[in-house]
Amino acid sequence: SVPEIGSPARTKAILSRYHLVAKKSLGQNFLSDLNILRNIVAAGDVTDHDDVIEIGPGIGALTEQIAKQARKVVAFEIDENLLPVLDETLMDYDNVKIINQDILKANLPEVIKDEFEPGHPVKLVANLPYYITTPILMGVLQSGVDFASIVVMMQSEVADRLVATPGQKAYGSLSVVMQYRANVAVAFEVPRTAFIPQPNVDSAIVRLTPRDPLPIKPYEDQALFKFVKGCFAHRRKTLWNNLQGIFGKQPEVRERIESVLKEVGISQQLRPERLTLINFIELTNAFHNEGL
């Protein structure tokens, strides 16, 4: 019988049969290691009770491994040249549906309503196109879909930023915003040698699950995100400096900034990278209440 899609021999055969040249502009690096592909699906705990959304099926290597475990897979692929390829490689799986659409333009709640039956957990498993990792994750987390788990491969360096904690070098606005939205953990690392063609970065599998309830909420999500971005605008400067960048330097404004910091109990001299998610939420609300 034919080897599975993600074996190096089969991947090479498919690429050559269809004269496919991986498009760098679309982040096309095909994962070609069956153990890793299976471990990605295992990290999502995918069972035959689950419906799965995939982003960027490529030639179908990960899709095949998901299809073997899941009830149904719906995969979004932007590159129409891959449609005939996927038609053939996934021919034996009647639980796969490919949608030829840019994931950033997809209406996920609607697709889920149309393609899946209610009552089944919906999970997301993907080897992401790296050039749009952040917009994809933000879009997915803001889509209103209640994903039971999200397991995604991305560049190691971005994974480090997602899981970084206060005081670490990689800690920044992306860490805070993602950790506000979800529990985030690195499942395992993937070397560049597992891909055809090889990218020039190493990768990591990140697992996002529904976030533990927070003791406080920001008055508005977007206000929190904007505030966090503003605080990290100049990482090497103090919080005090960054806050003046956000709200202004006028003596009257400075006085109000000072009184908010006092009220929340945070030192002016801290660097933004020392603040926790809870600190950021408290400050967002306190500045809002102060009318700043």
**How would you class 239 by CB atoms within 10 Å of its CB: exposed for 0-12, middle for 13-18, buried for 19 or more?**
buried
- Is residue 111 within the footprint of ligand SAM (CB under 6 A)? no
Q: Are 56 and 63 in contact (CB under 8 A)?
A: no
* Smallest separation (angstroms) from ligand SAM to the CB of 46: 15
Torsion angle of the four alpha carbons 246, 249, 254, 256, in this order, in degrees rounded to the nearest 10: -50
Binding mask 77-106 for ligand SAM (x = CB under 6 A): xxx----------------------xxx--
Residue nearest to ligand SAM (CB): 56
How far is residue 129 CA from its own chain's centroid?
A: 11
CA 273 – CA 170 distance, rounded (Å): 9
Neighbours of 4 (CB within 10 A): 17
> Of 72, 111, 129, 208, which lies in the binding site for ligand SAM, with binding defined by CB under 6 A?
129
Give the residue among 244, 270, 284, 265 at the shortest CA–CA distance from 167. 270
Of 52-81, binders to ligand SAM (CB under 6 A) are 55-58, 61-62, 76-79
Select 28 or 173, whichever has its Cβ closest to ligand SAM.
28
* Smallest separation (angstroms) from ligand SAM to the CB of 100: 9
User: Rounded to 5 degrees, what angle do the CA atoms 71, 102, 60 make?
Assistant: 45
* Smallest separation (angstroms) from ligand SAM to the CB of 28: 5
Select 128 or 257, whichever has its Cβ closest to ligand SAM.
128
* Smallest separation (angstroms) from ligand SAM to the CB of 108: 12
Binding mask 19-48 for ligand SAM (x = CB under 6 A): -------xxxxxx-----------------
